[in-house]
Amino acid sequence: MKDVIEGRVWTLGADVDTDQIISGKYLTIIDPDELKKHVFEIALPEFAHEARAGDIIVADENFACGSSREHAPQAMRAIGVGAVVADSFARIFYRNAINLGIPTVEARGVHAIFEKGDTARIEMTSGRVTNLRTGASVSFPPLPHHLLDLLEAGGLVEKVRRELEARAAGGSPP
């Protein structure tokens, strides 16, 4: 995980639920490259065609509320979304996104300082999101070490893999 993340911004409103990110009719798709064709189909129909790797999603409150479907962050990861920043997140999405290694930042007031197409700069350890076009910024409490470690490892799969490896080697978990 990079400490400073910069990218082009896509904005979304409040209460964008998981049905608006990946609709129920796509839940039998498990290939992320197939899933990404349908991401934000209801909330932001142009996103799937126009988004580039490194783009940043900025949303208002309660982003990705609703279902536990990991299809939502998986599709974002497949596109190469650089980070997801929101005023607040629904809890399962927050865990899912971090488990997949997507920098996920809760920053109060962030949606109000961005418009679509702006460039965002996120400083993970100091806890600041800045709009490079306007200079406006908001601060956020940096992620707990536990979660930064998880992102540092590249996600939960890698973290558990290391732990199981260490266990098999007879050592204590890192």
Partner 1 sequence: MSDARGHGATLAEKVLSRASGLDHVVPGQIVEGSVDLAMMHEQGAQTVAPFHQMGAVKVWDPDRVVIAIDHWVPASTEGAAVLHRILRKFAAETGLTHFYDVGRHGICHQILAENGWVVPGDLAVGTDSHTNMLGAMGSVSAGIGPTEMAAVLALGRLWLKVPPTIQVRVRGSFGKGVTAKDLVLRVLGEVRTTGATYKAVEFTGPTIRGLSMPERFTICNMTTEMGAKTGIVGPDEKTFEYLAKTAKHPMHPMTADSDAQYERTIDIAVDGMPPMVACPYSPDNVRPLTDVVREHVKVDQVFLGSCTNARIEDLREGAALMKGRKVAHGVRFIVSPASTPIYDQCLHEGIIETFTDAGAVFTNSSCSACFGGNMGILAPDEVCASSSNRNFPGRMGAKEARIYLMSPAAVVATAIKGEIADPRELL
- Contacting residues toward partner 1, per CB under 8 A: 15, 17, 19-20, 23-30, 42, 61-62, 65-70, 73-74, 88-92, 95-96, 99-100, 144, 146, 155-157, 160-161, 163-165
131 vs 150 by CB, closer to partner 1: 150
In the complex, least distance from residue 174 CB atom to partner 1, rounded to whole angstroms = 14
CB 149 within 8 A of CB 159: yes
Beta sheet of 119-123, edge-to-edge order: 104-106, 83-86, 56-59, 4-12, 119-123, 128-131, 137-139
Q: Which residues contact 151 (CB under 8 A, 6 or more apart)?
A: 1, 98, 101, 103, 124, 143
H/E segment holding residue 168: helix 156-168
Give the closest residue to 31 by CA, choosing from 73, 87, 78: 78
In the complex, least distance from residue 49 CB atom to partner 1, rounded to whole angstroms = 18
In the complex, least distance from residue 14 CB atom to partner 1, rounded to whole angstroms = 8
In the complex, least distance from residue 156 CB atom to partner 1, rounded to whole angstroms = 5
41 vs 118 by CB, closer to partner 1: 41
87 vs 118 by CB, closer to partner 1: 87
7 vs 73 by CB, closer to partner 1: 73
